[in-house]
Amino acid sequence: MNESSAEARHEPSADPSPAPGREAAPGRVILLTTSHRVAPGLLSWPAWQALRAADTVLCADGAHPQLPYLREAGIAVTEASPTARELVDACAGGRTVVVVATGEGEPALTDGLARLAGSGRVAMPELELLPASYDLPGARLLDLVQVMDRIRAECPWSSRQTHEGLAKYGIEEAYELVEAIEAGDREELREELGDVLLQVVFHSRIAEEDPDAPFSVDDVAGGIVTKLIHRHPHVFGDERAETPEDVKAHWLRTKAEEKRRTSITEGVPLGQPGLALAAKLASRVRTAGLEVPLPRGEGIGYELLALAVAAEADGVDPEAALRAAARVYRDAIKDSEAARAAGGGKEDEA
């Protein structure tokens, strides 16, 4: 590399006069990684120690979000994109060079260092990967919110959607999630959970644009956090709960205090499937300790009501039980179709 190109790229160069006793030391390279999901400047203490002790700090991205905060803290950062060989030379004489990694993680640089180390012909500096900030659990949800913001703004279909228009998809995704759970397919379960989560984020993004009562995904999350804490006094308060029944009693009591309902039927969605609706009403009756005789009437509806109530009393979800039976019926239909097709083929050959 000639002198002018090195100056144009702000490349580091080895000091020709290393300190006495450091001539033979190969030095040290620290690759500093950060998470864009954490506020810039919130670095770990080992990261700040490494930055302050370094002889040189490099970063290939002049727009890296950490750079203003590093410079504000008195860290001199040089914008440079050294090759692996240039970086090794910059460490000569026992120097420490910190490379603030870009979002891609500097794969070209690390691959080049690996090739040099594998050649056996170069005295390599110590190489250290130092995570300066970490993603907290749930950090990828921030990515989802950002992606949804962009889709809402730029996608011709998504930008026109409303709560009412998306309602059917929420129902479909919920059923697909249930199907994945009942099938025991872990990969499908993960995917369907993502689809359900998308509905929550999508509706929340639409809600931000309401002119009268806007709210955001943060408001949604904040509301459910408050509710969970309030309804779990045995976890976040002084109440005690030794059994699942104790927990349910806490939940029902705090829920009743919050809602101030005049009937146990309030809050039961009438649009859910019939068997699930009947079981839910039966559950409310049983929990409240009421004695409510089943209505008498003619027809399959009343028979199904009685079956659903009996199933709920036995701890059986009648909707899930019927779906399981229906899947067996579906398989029987497929077997019958296959047998007919096989028989028809033989007749054609004859």
Q: Which residue has the higher pLDDT, 253 or 8?
A: 253
Q: What DSSP designation does 271 have?
A: T
Taking only the tens place, the pLDDT of each residue in 45-96 is 999 999 999 999 999 999 999 999 999 999 999 999 999 999 999 999 999 9
**What does R_g of the chain's alpha carbons equal in angstroms?**
32
Structural tokens at position 266: 């309030």
Q: What is the C-alpha separation between 176 and 234, in angstroms, rounded?
A: 34
Q: What is the C-alpha separation between 159 and 206, in angstroms, rounded?
A: 9
6 pLDDT exceeds 50? no
Q: What is the pLDDT of residue 248?
A: 78
Phi-psi region of 41 (alpha: psi -120 to 50; beta: other; left: phi over 0): left
Give the number of C-alpha atoms closer than 13 A to the C-alpha of residue 304, restricted to the C-beta side. 13
Structural tokens at position 279: 């079981």
Q: Long-range contacts for 3-10 (Cβ within 8 Å, ≥24 apart)?
A: 9/80, 9/81, 10/78, 10/79, 10/80
213 pLDDT exceeds 50? yes
Taking only the tens place, the pLDDT of each residue in 122-175 is 889 999 999 999 888 898 999 999 999 999 999 999 999 999 999 999 999 999
